Amino acid sequence: MAKLKAPRNGVRVRMYRQGHGDCFLLTMRGQDGDAFHVLIDCGFKPGSEITAKVEDVIKDIVEATGGRIDILIVTHEHQDHVNLFTAKLDDQPLFDAIDVGQLWLGWTANPKDELADKVRKGHDEAVGMLRKARKRLGAQLDKAGLSAGIDEMLALEGFGAAGKTGISKATMERSVAAAMRYLTAKVPDEKKRKYFLPHEAVDVAGVPGLRVISLGPPRSRSELNKDEPKAAGERDRVYDKGHGLSFGFSFGLGGLLPATETDSDEDAGEDYMPFAAGHSLRGKTKDSNARFFEFLYGKDDGHPLGWRRIERDWLFALDWFARKINVEVNNSSLVLALELTASRKVLLFAGDAQYGNWLSWDDRPIKLDDGSSTTVQELLGRTVLYKVGHHGSHNATLKGTVDSAYANLDWLGRDGVAKDEFVAMIPANEPWALAVKPDPWVHPLPAIRAALDEKAKGRVFQSNIDFAAMKREGGSQDAWDEFVRRSKGSSDLYFDYWVPDE
């Protein structure tokens, strides 16, 4: 566990195996020949450890970087990407031992961006309403079997059940906001914080030969192209797919999620009734109306027409709402393509980007600092390492072909050496995910895992699968031997893979 030396070229990627969550340490050769460190996310679902303890993971980060991370990237604000930043051992935050040079985030985190502000407010309001509703309707949600699902979504947002930790001694905080505050406090100088808009290309100062291009998060096209004239009578609504994060779906649920003036958790909202009190029939009467409802609806599912009762249906919208919040935050993921300028190889870190984010990746050329331009399809074609979105789940790695109108798995690793070197990294603890109650998380989706295996010829890292258990699937033995050489040092704590820039 010594300090990492700079590789002679390229990027050394250390994928930590803390559990079901992302934590990637990249090491490159800096201008002066020293190691330059980039950390992308650090979090996990409490209780999903594999064999390593999280405190050991963080201690390794401290030692490997010598207490200094040059660029710290947070793709999006979900528990399993940020909760380790505030992990404490014996009451002391483990990350206190690390200095951070720069902090890179998506534009949605920019406090000075008006649209980001709107999005953030919308998100916070949505989560607030969901929590109030969860509280107010707790008994009904329990009866309908919907509480667990909603709690899972709230936990990812930094609320709700804390979740038990497994073998680790370190303690985790639930609050995602606290983790973000901690990181912002670590980088107090605003000039050292970067908020990426989509399709920005940045040459990394301090690392010759490395360029970073952002693909997501999407920003509404009309915002970006306010001055572009719309052809009369032409519809471009379809182009707006995937653009714009608005959390604008929360209305229509106003009767379910009454907003109140106060922020207090205690105040669960007033009751909203659609009709004047005189119309509502409650309780037990014996009149003709009561007999009417008894005949057709009854009191419980045991009634002969019980299969037509709808006692739970009104609550399904809450579950939908919770998942929609989750998807929108996932779609706010900062997606970065790291390009090694000499070999033009690309490493794609997709955060938890899902369908909406992928669809927003523009088909127009992206201008680079040196005056040339590239396209998303080109970048993906030269991708040799793909950090698989959202634990390899359905809808986070898209199906398609090279002719599809939107980016998809088929576009990745098509060109030149990418074909022979393509490697995928799935940050997932599959057995833990499949054991989630009441409904298992299918992470990774077997069909996506299979497609990745086929493309990478077996060179697919997955958190819960030891390196020794990985097998070649087709492809040449030479390519596999080379892959094993580059993965030297992989252990229970991390996978260690070097992408040479040659």
Q: What residue ranges bind another protein (CB under 8 A)? A: 152, 233-235, 237-239, 241, 249, 251-256, 272-276, 279-282, 288-289, 291-293, 295-297, 307-314, 316-317, 320, 323-324, 326-327, 330, 354-356, 390, 393-396, 398-400, 405, 439-443, 445-447, 450
Tell me 173's DSSP state.
Answer: -
Q: Taking the complex as a whole, how short is the minimal distance between the CB of residue 139 and another protein, in angstroms?
A: 12
Greatest Cα-to-Cα distance within the chain, rounded to the nearest angstrom? 89
**HEC per residue, 351-404:** CCCCHHHHHCCCCCCEECCCCCEECHHHHHHCEEEEECHHHHCCCCCCCCCCCC
- Judged by phi (left if over 0) then psi (alpha if -120 to 50, else beta), residue 392 lies in left
Q: Judged by CB, which is closer to another protein: 274, or 302?
A: 274
Q: Judged by CB, which is closer to another protein: 233, or 302?
A: 233
Residue whose token pair is 């909760």? 83
In degrees rounded to 5, what are phi and psi of residue 140?
Answer: -65, -40
- Which residues does 477 contact at the CB level (< 8 Å), separation at least 6? none
Q: Judged by CB, which is closer to another protein: 295, or 367?
A: 295
Tell me if 441 sits within 8 A of 433, measured CB to CB: yes
Nearest to 269 by CA among 253, 251, 282, 256: 256
Tokens of 320: 């939908």
Q: Taking the complex as a whole, how short is the minimal distance between the CB of residue 340 and another protein, in angstroms?
A: 31
Tell me if 389 sits within 8 A of 272, measured CB to CB: no
Q: Judged by CB, which is closer to another protein: 131, or 211?
A: 131
Q: Taking the complex as a whole, how short is the minimal distance between the CB of residue 260 and another protein, in angstroms?
A: 13
Q: Taking the complex as a whole, how short is the minimal distance between the CB of residue 27 and another protein, in angstroms?
A: 31
Q: Judged by CB, which is closer to another protein: 178, or 451?
A: 451
Tell me if 496 sits within 8 A of 489, measured CB to CB: yes
**Helix (H, G, I), strand (E, B), or coil: what is residue 84?**
coil
- CA quadruple 39, 40, 46, 50: dihedral, nearest 10: -80
Tokens of 332: 């706010």
Q: Judged by CB, which is closer to another protein: 313, or 478?
A: 313
Q: Taking the complex as a whole, how short is the minimal distance between the CB of residue 365 and another protein, in angstroms?
A: 21
Residue whose token pair is 């934590």? 23
Q: Taking the complex as a whole, how short is the minimal distance between the CB of residue 125 and another protein, in angstroms?
A: 11
In degrees rounded to 5, what are phi and psi of residue 459?
Answer: -85, 60
Q: Judged by CB, which is closer to another protein: 209, or 400?
A: 400
Q: Judged by CB, which is closer to another protein: 257, or 456?
A: 257
Q: Judged by CB, which is closer to another protein: 226, or 235?
A: 235
Q: Taking the complex as a whole, how short is the minimal distance between the CB of residue 249 and another protein, in angstroms?
A: 6
Q: Taking the complex as a whole, how short is the minimal distance between the CB of residue 110 and another protein, in angstroms?
A: 24
Q: Judged by CB, which is closer to another protein: 294, or 370?
A: 294
Say how far apart CA 376 and CA 374 lie, in whole Å.
7
Q: How far from chain centre, in Å, is Cα 59?
A: 24
Q: Taking the complex as a whole, how short is the minimal distance between the CB of residue 149 and another protein, in angstroms?
A: 8
**Helix (H, G, I), strand (E, B), or coil: what is residue 404?**
coil
Q: Judged by CB, which is closer to another protein: 85, or 355?
A: 355
Q: Taking the complex as a whole, how short is the minimal distance between the CB of residue 7 and another protein, in angstroms?
A: 35
Q: Tell me how far CA of residue 117 lies from CA of 113, 121, 131, 313, 484, in angstroms.
A: 6, 6, 21, 34, 46
Q: Judged by CB, which is closer to another protein: 91, or 313?
A: 313
Q: Taking the complex as a whole, how short is the minimal distance between the CB of residue 253 and another protein, in angstroms?
A: 5
CB-based burial of residue 435 (10 Å sphere; 0-12 exposed, 13-18 middle, 19+ buried)?
A: exposed
Q: Taking the complex as a whole, how short is the minimal distance between the CB of residue 353 and another protein, in angstroms?
A: 11
Say how far apart CA 498 and CA 502 lie, in whole Å.
12
- Judged by phi (left if over 0) then psi (alpha if -120 to 50, else beta), residue 279 lies in alpha
Tell me if 106 sits within 8 A of 333, measured CB to CB: yes
